[in-house]
Amino acid sequence: MTSQNSGNRKSRLPEAPATRPAESLKQDILRHVLYSLGRDTERPDRQTVFRALALSLRDRLVEKWIASQRDIYSRSSKRVYYLSLEFLPGPFLRENLIALGLENEAREALTDMGFGLDDVADEEYEPGLGNGGLGRLASCYLDSMATLRLPAYGYGIHYAYGIFYQLIKEGRQVERADNWLRGGTHWEFERSHYVHPVRFYGQVREWVDEQGRLRHSLENATTVMAMACDMFIPGHKNDYVLNMRLWAAKTSREFEFSFFNTGDYIGAVEEKIRDENISMVLYPNDEAPEGKELRLKQQFFLVSATIQDIVRRFRKKGIAWDQLPRKNVIHLNETHPAVAIPELMRILVDEELLTWEEAWYICVRTFAYTNHTVLPEALEVWPEDLFRRLLPRHLQIIHEINRRFLHDVRRQFPNDPNILGRVSLVHEGESRWVRMSHLAIVGSFSVNGVSAHHSEILKESVFHDFYKIFPERFNNKTNGITPRRWLRQCNPTLAWLITEHIGPEWLTDLAQLKKLEPYVNSEGFHRAWMEVRLRNKHKLAEYIRDKNGITVMPESLFDVHVKRFHEYKRQLLNVLHVIALYNRIRSSPGSVTVPRTYIFGGKAAPGYYMAKHIIRLINSVAYTINTDPRVGDLLKVVFLQNYCVTLAERIIPATDLSEQISTAGMEASGTGNMKFALNGAITIGTHDGANIEIMEHVGNENLFLFGLLSHEVNEMRSQGYNPRLFYERDSELREVLDMIAGGFFSPSEPHLFRDVVESLLNHGDRYMVLADFRSYVYRQQDAANAFMDQAAWARMSMLNTSRMGFFSSDRAVDEYAKDIWGVSGV
Ligand code: CR1
């Protein structure tokens, strides 16, 4: 690994030491209570203390950020710009305390003031500016970029409302607005003077200038301003801090002046509101983009403001444009910000007057693209008409990129005329669509998938034509997670136990966890390991009792399925097995010997009927089972509402069995799978995404894989998969499906869940739930048997943790830095 904690590198700012004593922190908190928050220092409430502590940490972060920026600037380092429509940072307080090395000081300062750190930390409400894995990955990567001291910047949108707050009411998901800014922002700086204009709509004017050049400009455009909001991401104890810059939409000043001229005051204010709507809300769809105009506006809003920032910084250097790729790399997190490619072309050609060839040469050396999904419905396309209306000049540029690209392809594959239609940036059929993934591939020098398996699928099927055209662009970067948040912070006692045995280096070099292996045979270590895990389970059991009013046994097997609800993630397969267990308990008491607690959590996109229906089914099954006296402690089913980073941090350290059971070939990577295994949970999963690499690292004997392989899924489909066959052959499965369809779990509405069963039996079972049912049941039995031998289970658990070093986001980001970005730590 490259530079780790380069704490020895002195910054040139006259800076305060990294750790200030508790007393000075306390004085800072009190000062903020009084002067920033305007409260009486005699008896501040807990929320006030939380905010004052956050502000005190922000003071320290901003000092280090300024110093880090000066370092980057003075070294003239190549910069990485990570563009993402989503970031899911989770609560900041603990992470910042750990990174700054101030945990003990904060605890002491707060105790002195009569508060507990845990209680104060619970006051924080996390910014939910992402849907799931993709946004959380972006945040793990920023954490690692900071820890590796990379000259990097995160760029995203400052949504006023993040992912909705999920309530479960009478078993159903209900969405509530997530007003995360309600309590003010204590971590960020709003730069109200720091704005860029973003221009949409209008018409392209073509004209010839004095030098006889053909020029293009946009007339009658609508202008909205993008205002920067900066949040700080510290590296782990290395005095290095990065910036995540989120843009908020503001109306333009000219607009405000025009209020007075038009006389239509209210009308003008209405327009102002419309402008500021752009950054109002995060689209809550995970892997199924909603083709709404506002969403395309959001994408361009992020891109336009960010490219202006990048270009502004580059101009200050006063060097030639062809040096841009040597000094900058722009990473596209999925295709969502891919309109950055025509936007940079537009600036270079229309404004900087470079030739097309010069500009294109620069572009394809500047952009890199990560693909995160192969689901056909997730591949982003935009109606050409919409594009033309909103971004007329960009559409022209896309057409020109396409014309030249197809020209080259025709020459490269003269005998395959059909390839042109397949790779065109514009799908031409009854209606015309702009294909964003094609744009991203053609405009980037690197295209990567997020697990070895997924990257192979990209080359072999989804982007096979492009792989033939640009084989050198394709590569793999298996995802990773930050061990600071996903072990040190969320599981402090386990982290402490580990550090006690192998020292703290694992925090920035996760491969060090290997050193735990010799202890798997030590009885004392075993005992301590299992005690910590049991204590975590007790805490989660308490939370479940508080929130759901259900008493669960901490000694039972905690079987956890938390992630977004999507049919391909197959929460339905899990619940079919739960029902099968229930039936066994009822029909032959004594046949089920391992008590289990099933924990589900996750949000469904508000417009995704089947996903929401499955949530409802789980809650109905939970109610039936939890209230059936014959079941007792053998089986409990819990749905925890509003799954988010904060909740994940509670659940993961208390999990025994981690459910990662997507249909093979559909989960690009998964990152939850890594978080669980790192914390010593055992995986039950399919041969999909990063599960395969987890198996390679932890050993096939230390997890439970089952089910069809990707190629078997494809073969079965192409041979005409018949789910009914499985129904007819398997009496246990048949009983389960008949109960659901017959209203067993919905006695007052017997037909309620019939359509769930229909989707399996009569509509093709697209996700092969029935095909995998039997092997899942067997593997679940293996897991239960293994759990009965607690010593053997403990061993598996420790081996999982000790062998997960590869899955650190430090490793992943280091690979991006070396293989794609060509940058190193400052
Ligand atoms: C994938 O489904 C992956 C994350 C992060 C998701 C998941 O398997 O771990 O990305 N894809 O790479 C996604 O959100 C829009 O696509």
State whether the beta carbon of 372 lies less than 6 angstroms from ligand 1: yes
Per-residue model confidence (pLDDT) at position 257: 62
106 or 429: which leads in pLDDT = 106
Crossing angle for the helix pair 571-587 and 769-788, nearest 10 degrees?
60
Q: What percent of the chain has pLDDT over 70?
A: 96
693 lines ligand 1 (CB under 6 A): no
The answer to whether the CB of 436 is under 6 A from ligand 1 is no
User: What is the per-residue pLDDT across 282-328, written as a single tens digit (0 to 9) for each?
Assistant: 999 999 998 999 999 999 999 999 999 999 999 999 999 999 999 99
User: Does 16 score more than 60 pLDDT?
Assistant: no
Is the Cβ atom of 482 under 6 angstroms away from ligand 1? Answer: no
Q: How far is the CA of 690 from the centre of ligand 1 (A)?
A: 11
Closest atom, ligand 1, to C-alpha of 133? 4
Question: What pLDDT does residue 258 have?
Answer: 62
For residue 684, list its beta bridge partners: 659, 704
pLDDT for 11 equals: 42
Which of 286, 450, 455 to mutate for ligand 1's pocket (most ligand atoms within 8 Å of CB)? 450
CA-nearest of 483, 532, 489, 490 to 505 is: 483
Provide mean pLDDT across the span 575-600: 96
Over the range 698-710, which residues count as b (16 or more CB within 10 Å of their CB) and which as e? beeebbbbbbbbb
Which pLDDT does position 508 carry in this prediction?
A: 98
Q: Which pLDDT belongs to residue 250?
A: 93
Predicted confidence (pLDDT) per residue in 642-671, tens digit: 999 999 999 999 999 999 999 999 999 999
pLDDT exceeds 80 at position 6: no
φ, ψ at 692 (rounded to 5°): -65, -45
Across residues 146-173, what is the average pLDDT?
98
**Which residues, listed in sequence order, are joined to residue 332 by a DSSP beta bridge?**
83, 369
CA of 471 to the centre of ligand 1 (A): 23
Q: Mutate which of 334, 569, 669, 809 to test ligand 1's pocket (most atoms within 8 Å of Cβ)?
A: 669
Query: Average pLDDT in the 761-786 region?
Result: 98
- 3-class SS letters over 479-520: CCECHHHHHHHCCHHHHHHHHHHHCHHHHCCHHHHHHHHHHH
Please name the residue ranges forming H helices in 356-471.
356-366, 384-390, 392-412, 418-423, 436-442, 452-457, 464-469
| Burial of residue 95 (number of CB atoms within 10 Å: 0-12, 13-18, 19+) | buried
Give the whole-angstrom CA distance, residue 90 versus residue 106.
Answer: 20
Q: What contacts 522, CB < 8 A, 6 or more positions away?
A: none
The arithmetic mean of pLDDT across residues 218-232, rounded, is: 96
| Cα–ligand 1 centroid distance for 465 (angstroms) | 23
Give the pLDDT confidence score for residue 750 in this predicted structure: 98
- Tell me the two tokens of residue 6: 């380069």
Q: Is the CB of 479 under 6 A from ligand 1?
A: yes
Q: Which atom of ligand 1 is nearest to the CA of 334?
A: 15
pLDDT band at 802 (very low <50, low <70, confident <90, very high): very high
Residue labelled with tokens 């901003």: 62
Each residue's pLDDT tens digit, 247-294: 999 987 666 666 656 667 777 778 778 888 999 999 999 999 989 999
Q: In angstroms, what is the span from residue 671 Cα to ligand 1's centroid?
A: 8
Q: Find the 668 Cα to ligand 1 centroid distance in Å.
A: 6
Using the 8-state DSSP alphabet, how is residue 796 labeled? Answer: H
Alpha carbons within 13 angstroms on the beta-carbon side of residue 30 total 14
pLDDT by residue (tens digit) across 747-756? 999 999 999 9
Atom of ligand 1 nearest to the CA of 689: 8
Going by pLDDT thresholds of 50, 70 and 90, the confidence category of residue 12 is very low
List pLDDT tens digits, range 444-474. Answer: 999 999 999 999 999 999 999 999 999 999 9
Inform me whether the pLDDT recorded for 514 exceeds 90: yes
Please give the distance, rounded to the nearest whole angstrom, from the Cα atom of residue 335 to the centre of ligand 1.
12
- The answer on pLDDT for 766 being more than 70 is yes
Pocket flag, ligand 1, residue 137 (CB < 6 Å)? yes
DSSP character at residue 161: B
Dihedral, 493, 497, 500, 505 alpha carbons, nearest 10: -80
**What is the rounded end-to-end Cα distance, in angstroms, of the chain?**
14
List, for residues 716-731, the tens digit of each pLDDT value.
999 999 999 999 999 9
H helix or E strand, kind and range, residue 225: strand 222-234
- Checking ipTM against 0.90, whether it exceeds it is yes
Q: Which atom of ligand 1 is nearest to the CA of 372?
A: 11
Q: Are 716 and 768 in contact (CB under 8 A)?
A: yes
Task: Give nearest CA residue, ligand 1 atom 7.
Answer: 670
pLDDT at position 15 over 60:
no
276-to-21, 158, 159, 224 alpha-carbon distances in Å: 43, 11, 10, 8
Q: What is the DSSP string of 110-153?
A: HHHTT--HHHHHTT------S-SHHHHHHHHHHHHHHHTT--EE
Ligand 1: nearest atom to the Cα of 137: 5
Predicted confidence band at 116 (pLDDT cuts at 50, 70, 90)?
very high
Using alpha carbons, list the distances in angstroms from residue 11 to 5, 8, 18, 74, 155.
14, 9, 12, 11, 25
Pick the closest to residue 220 from 209, 205, 235, 233 (CA basis).
205
Contact 259, 265 (CB under 8 A): yes
Give the residue whose CA is nearest to atom 15 of ligand 1: 287
**Which positions are catalytic?**
372, 563-564, 569, 671, 675
pLDDT tens readout for residues 563-585: 999 999 999 999 999 999 999 99
Alpha helices, DSSP H, located in 10-45: 22-31
Mean pLDDT of 34-56: 97
**Residue 454 in contact with ligand 1 by CB distance below 6 A:** no
DSSP string, 646-705: HHHHHHGGG-SEEEE-PPTT--S--SHHHHHHHTTPEEEEES-TTHHHHHHHH-GGGSEE
Length of the chain (residues): 826
d(CA 199, CA 114): 52
pLDDT of residue 8: 42
- The CB of 133 under 6 Å from ligand 1? The reply is yes
Going from the Cα of 670 to the center of ligand 1, the distance in angstroms, rounded, reads 7
Q: Give the residue, by CA position, lying nearest to ligand 1 atom 9.
A: 670
pLDDT band for position 4 (cuts 50, 70, 90)? very low
> Which domains does the chain show, CATH number per domain?
541-789 (3.40.50.2000)
Find the 544 Cα to ligand 1 centroid distance in Å. Answer: 28
Which residue's CA is the closest to the ligand 1 atom numbered 14?
134
Give the mean model confidence (pLDDT) for residues 221-247.
Answer: 97
Give me the percent of the chain exceeding a pLDDT of 90: 93
**Furthest-apart CA atoms within the chain: distance in Å:** 91
- Burial pattern 712-750, b for ≥16 Cβ within 10 A else e, equals ebeeeeeeebebeebbeebeebeebbebbbebbbbeeee
Quote the tokens at residue 114. 């009569």
Q: Mean pLDDT across the stretch 499-512?
A: 98
Burial of 208 (0-12, 13-18, 19+ CB in 10 A): exposed
Cα-to-centroid distance, 689 and ligand 1 (Å)? 10
In short, whether 448's Cβ falls inside 6 Å of ligand 1 is: no
Task: Give the closest residue (by CA) to ligand 1 atom 11.
Answer: 372
Q: 377 in helix, strand or coil? A: helix
Adjacent-strand bridge partners of 207: 215
Is 667's C-beta closer than 6 angstroms to any atom of ligand 1? Answer: yes
Q: How large is the average pLDDT for residues 343-359? A: 98
pLDDT of residue 193: 86
Query: Is any atom of ligand 1 closer than 6 Å to the C-beta of 450?
Result: yes
Average pLDDT score over residue span 719-747: 98
What's the 208 CA to ligand 1 centre distance in angstroms? 46
Sign of CA dihedral 110, 106, 483, 232: positive
Question: CB of 334 closer than 6 A to ligand 1?
Answer: yes
What is the spatial distance between Cα 28 and Cα 807, in angstroms, rounded to a whole number?
A: 38
Q: Which element (helix H / strand E) includes 370?
A: strand 367-370
The angle subtended at Cα 282 by Cα 276 and Cα 283, nearest 5°, is 120
What pLDDT score was predicted for residue 270? 80
Closest ligand 1 atom to Cα of 131? 14
Q: Could you identify the atom of ligand 1 that is nearest to the CA of residue 132?
A: 14
Q: 668 in ligand 1 pocket by Cβ < 6 Å?
A: yes
Are 478 and 717 within 8 A, CB to CB? no
Output the CA 765–ligand 1 centroid distance in Å. 22
- By DSSP bridging, strand 381-383 and strand 474-476 are unpaired
Confirm if 661 and 776 have CB atoms less than 8 A apart: yes
> Is the CB of 378 inside a 6 Å radius of any atom of ligand 1?
yes
